[in-house]
Amino acid sequence: MAYSEKVMDHFANPRNVGELAGANGIGEVGNSKCGDIMRMYIKVENNIIQDVSFKTFGCGAAIATSSMATELIKGKTIEEALQLTNSAVMEALDGLPPVKVHCSVLAEQAIKAALKNYYENQGIDPTPFIGEIPECHHDHGDSCGCGSCE
């Protein structure tokens, strides 16, 4: 399994790591059975993601996708952040091995979970903006639609 230089760089030198003081949106996705857990912290002011950080328990690809995802949404509007796809994260990292695609799915879901929490903290129903975020409750091989088990 070969990783790109960008994946290795974001794994060895992750950006925006740790808890974010003053975060007004926190989202966690993943499942210990699937092996990867991502927590994203965002600080939104005037509809702009002013700051973002993450804490990830998982493999090198999970750390790299978390790091890249934070870089891709920092300074963006909420609407722009909601448009970020796992494919865009993979493309920014110059690809991932097929067996690690689920890490980019989790990065996308972690951002949406943080934004969902932000909306809830503002007293706004997040469903029209974010929809449902699938959760993994299975061991690998039992496809539940979360992206991690496929």
Tokens for 98, please give them: 């097929």
Tokens for 72, please give them: 């891709």
| Residue 144 annotated to the active site | no
| Residue 136 annotated to the active site | no
- What strands lie across the sheet with 25-31, from one edge to the other? 25-31, 36-45, 48-57
Cβ proximity of 93 and 68 under 8 Å: yes
Annotated catalytic residue within 103, 136, 146, 149:
103
Cβ proximity of 80 and 23 under 8 Å: no
Active site (catalytic) residues: 34, 103
